[in-house]
Structure 1
Amino acid sequence: MLVLYNFDEIIDRRDTGSLKWHYSDDTIPLWVADMDFKAAQPILDTIEQVAQHGVLGYTKPTAALYESIIEWHGSRYDLRLDKQNILFSPGVVPSLALMMNIFTEVGAAVLVNDPIYTPFMTKVEQNSRKLVTSALKEVEGQYHLDLADIEAKIVEHEVKLYLLCNPHNPGGRVWTRDELEALLSICKKHNVAIVSDEIHQDLTLSGHTFTPFLTLAEGYAHKVVSLTSMTKTFNIAGIKGSMIFAKDEALIKKISQQQHLNDEYELNLFAYTVMQSAYEEGGEWLEQAFAYIETNIDLTLRFLEEHLPDIKVMRPEASYLIWLDCSAYAQDDQTLYDTLRDAEVELSAGIKYGAEGHLKMRLNVACPKALLIEGLNRIHAAFSDVVKES
């Protein structure tokens, strides 16, 4: 039976331990990548059934769970997986750290793009690797890989590992097959391993096509790993769980051995059961949620064009995160952030995503329209005051 979800419902998340809603004032949080929508009913039912069973003991992935993962990725992305290609991990970020030990030694160079999701940079440095960055090129309001710069940096620094974010966070690009093939060609030429964070894959917006990197890796599978999760897709980040995909038998064995050394190869009971429920029964919720999110993206772009045309907006090709160039309204990053905080609206500061995030902000629109509109009005009021003072 079709369930119609009410994404206009405002659910009070204050005083629940919510990271997003931790404020003591009336701040509207439009920052961390966390939707303000109730999870799909089948997921909630699954959690209730597990709790009502009453025995919450040790658990392991079932054959049905593996099949749900294989079916989801095969039917949607033509990514052909077998059980032996799949490992579980508590999260994509721990897996990024794990990959340092799989593909590099201490002191080795690891290449990432700039801007990029913050842990790409911090995990490289925290694991005593050399961080090398290649700035993305902005062309006609969208980011593009600077392939010439990427190759030059690989050669100059003897890069051993490239961490790719596809779809890209924070810019929202879904890299095309041609772009990925060109990147693969460069990495193969210089024997560079590729780890592709694909956690936003299921959030690809209308008119764009996501290409899993592993579908291109034939002949180079011993150097390619993809990381993904159901948590962003179904707004269940509080239930930790993710997957590592690799096609090469020796590589998957090496990853598994390293996971056992770190004791990071198991998920909890709720993560396993919720993952299966999401992949088997969550598609209807996801379709409705994304129709709602796309209207919020359109609403936001119209609002900014009408009221704050000096903000340069990068329309996302995936996710519910919008990258904003606010350089018309501030000269330094702290002032920009404080201006919005003083207006009791919270966005993610762009500078946290690298030097290319200077005077940029990341806006999350995955919330009820009433909250979004109020947040946008506060942004408008904050920047209107700046304009009047200048």
Structure 2
Amino acid sequence: MSVPYNFDEIIDRRDTGSVKWHYFDDTIPLWVADMDFKAAAPILNAVEQVVQHGILGYTKPTAALFDAIINWHGSRYNLQLDKENILFSPGVVPSLALMMHIFTETADAVLVNDPIYTPFMTKVKQNNRTLVMSALKEIDGKYQLDLDDIEAKIIEHNVKLYLLCNPHNPGGRVWTVGELEALLTLCKKHNVAIVSDEIHQDLTLSGHKFTPLLKLAEAENYAHNIVSLTSMTKTFNVAGIKGSMIFAKDETLIRKISQQQQLNDEYELNLFAYTVMQSAYEEGGEWLEQVLTYIEKNIEITLDFLAGHLPDIKVMRPEASYLIWLDCSAYGEDNQALYDKLREAKVELNSGIKYGREGHLKMRINVACPEALLREGLNRVYAAFRGGDKS
């Protein structure tokens, strides 16, 4: 019998080393992408069992862990994986950096969309590659890939690698099969590798369907140039437990990635990461179903509040995740001033400009928190932009 989780519970995270809740005042953080919800009971129980065992020694992935990963992705996305297709990594961002050394050389061009999750840009630059950006087109309130611009940039800059974010962060798009197939065809035409960050895949919302890029790559006979990155951390709110996976279907490619990991000594996870990953994929489905229902309710609360009280904010309805992209250009002309206005009202959102030029005067809000905290945070957003408290 299923047990309902209480996502209305407010858990004090101050003075715990939390990145999200680092304040010395009563600021409400609606920014960095972790949830203010307790992790699933089976995950917490699994960690407790490890601690009770008492020996925290060297650990390697077990057959049961591989099976859990394979079964999760096979049953949910019809992505057929074998043990040999899976490598482990400390995180998706370290894997993005790793991929620079798999598919490119120093100064080679790497294409990303604008806006995009900040490390897509920083890891390209930090690894001495040439960053090329293609702006997404906003049509009917959601982002679209500009395939003409992407191809023009590929040709102009001799792009070697395309970093895809699916579902997209911060815009919340779940790219359709048609969009992904068109992108694959384009990249295959110009021999451009694609690395797809799919960490938000399990947070796809009602009415939308996530398709793994690797599933399509095989049909296009292009698996030798495709890598997918994903993790249990966003799905199950265990970001403090570092761990992720690298998926590739081509034997030569997976061997090359493994060899590069050996050079960097970045191929192992810690004991708790293996434990949490297996427990999440074996027993976390019920928690995920319930938390998605709660998140969808919070999304509606946010959209209704903004429509009723701050209608000049243009909201991009997400198709995945608990992050909502807001166009706040009606309320200011300077990005820092916009951010500071909200901080003065003791509510923090992510400043959109950190996601690229297309983030100018935009903000990203995280609604994965108890409803009471969300409503108070929204009231503070209203106070910041209207100069007074909402009654």
TM-score, length-scaled by structure 2? 0.98
Instruction: State the Cα deviation string for residues 89-133 of structure 1 (Å, max 9, x = none).
Output: 000000000000000000000000000000000000000000000
Q: Which amino acid aligns with 1:102?
A: I
Q: Which amino acid aligns with 1:189?
A: K
Equivalent position amino acid for 1:171 in 2: G
SS in 2 for 1:217: helix
Residue of structure 2 equivalent to 1:311 = 313
What is the identity, as a one-letter code, of the residue corresponding to 1:85?
Answer: N
Deviation per CA, 1:185-233: give whole Å up to 9, x if none. Answer: 0000000000000000000000000010000112111100000000000
Residue 308 of structure 1 deviates from its aligned partner by 0.2
- How far 1:65 sits from its partner (Å)? 0.2
Structure 1 stretches lacking a partner, 5+ long: none
Note the residue ranges of structure 2 that are not aligned, 5 or more in a row. none
Within the candidate set 277, 280, 284, 1:282 is matched to: 284
Q: Which amino acid aligns with 2:239?
A: A
Partner of 2:325: 323
Residue in structure 1 matched with residue 353 of structure 2 by the alignment: 351
Instruction: Report what 2:181 is aligned to.
Output: 181
Report the equivalent of 1:223. 225
Measure the CA separation in 1 of the matches of 2:350 and 2:103: 31
**Code of the aligned partner of 2:4:** L
Structure 1 segments, 4+ long, off by >4 Å, are none
Q: Which letter does structure 1 place at the counterpart of 2:344?
A: D
Give the superposed CA RMSD.
0.6
The structural deviation recorded for 1:3 is 1.6
Structure 2 residue 369 is the aligned partner of structure 1 residue 367: yes
Which of the residues 302, 305, 315 maps onto 2:304?
Answer: 302
- Cα deviation, 1:259-279, whole Å, max 9, x if unaligned, reads 000000000000001100000
Query: CA separation in 2, counterparts of 1:287 and 1:86?
Result: 25
Give, in whole Å, the separation in 1 of the partners of 2:26 and 2:55.
Answer: 41
Offset of 1:310 from its aligned partner?
0.1
Question: How far apart are the structure 1 equivalents of 2:363 and 2:374?
Answer: 16
Matched residues, number: 386
CA distance in 2, matches of 1:284, 1:292: 13
Deviation at 1:328, TM superposition (A): 0.2
- For the residues of structure 2 that align with 1:369 and 1:385, how far apart are their CA atoms? 23
Identity of aligned residues (%): 81
Distance in 1, matches of 2:268 and 2:70, equals: 19
The answer for the alignment partner of 1:39 in structure 2 is: 39
1:238 aligns with 2:240: yes
Aligned to 1:248: 250
Q: How does 1:118-137 map to 2 (within 5 A)?
A: 118-137=118-137
Aligned residue number for residue 154 of structure 1: 154
**What is the rounded CA distance, in whole Å, between the counterparts of 1:205 and 1:7 in structure 2?**
18
Amino acid at match of 2:141: G
Shift of 1:38: 0.1
- Give the partner amino acid of 2:93: V
Does the residue aligned with 1:227 lie in a helix, a strand or coil?
A: strand
Q: In structure 2, how many angstroms separate the alpha carbons of the residues matched to 1:131 and 1:89?
A: 24
> Within 1, Cα distance between the matches of 2:106 and 2:79?
33
Question: Is 1:12–2:12 an aligned residue pair?
Answer: yes
Give the equivalent residue in structure 2 for 1:292: 294
Q: Tell me, what secondary structure is at the counterpart of 1:297?
A: helix
1:55 aligns with 2:60: no
Instruction: Letter of the 1:210 partner, please give it.
Output: F
Q: How far did residue 40 of structure 1 move?
A: 0.1
Equivalent residue, structure 2, for 1:69: 69
Return the alpha-carbon distance in structure 2 between the equivalents of residues 157 and 325 of structure 1.
Answer: 31
Secondary structure (helix, strand or coil) at the match of 1:205 reads coil
The separation in 1 between residues aligned to 2:174 and 2:223, in whole angstroms, is: 22
CA distance in 1, matches of 2:285, 2:76: 11
- 1: distance between equivalents of 2:268 and 2:363? 36
Q: Give 3-state SS (helix, strand or coil) of 2:363's partner.
A: strand
Matched, 1:23 2:23: yes
| Pairwise CA distance, 1:75 | 0.3
Task: Tell me the distance in 2 between the aligned counterparts of 1:322 and 1:221.
Answer: 32
For the residues of structure 2 that align with 1:268 and 1:188, how far apart are their CA atoms? 37
Distance 1:3 1:266 in 2: 34
Deviations along 1:136-193, whole A, 9 cap, x unmatched? 0000100000000000000000000000000000000000000000000000000000
Looking at structure 1, the residues matched to 224 and 71 of structure 2 have their Cα atoms a distance apart, in angstroms, of 24
Q: Does 1:202 align with 2:202?
A: yes
2-structure distance, mates of 1:307, 1:62: 53
> How far apart, in 2, do the equivalents of 1:124 and 1:283 lie?
35
User: What is the CA-CA distance between 1:4 and the residue it aligns to?
Assistant: 1.0
Q: CA deviation at 1:25?
A: 1.0
Distance 1:112 1:216 in 2: 20
Deviation at 1:255, TM superposition (A): 0.2
Q: Which amino acid letter does the alignment assign opposite residue 306 of structure 1?
A: G
Deviation at 1:5, TM superposition (A): 0.4
The CA deviation at 1:385 is: 1.9
Within the alignment, does 1:3 sit opposite 2:3 as a pair?
yes
Distance in structure 2 (CA, Å) of the matches to 1:186 and 1:332: 37
Q: TM-score, normalised by structure 1?
A: 0.99
* CA distance, structure 2, for counterparts of residue 381 and residue 107 of structure 1: 47
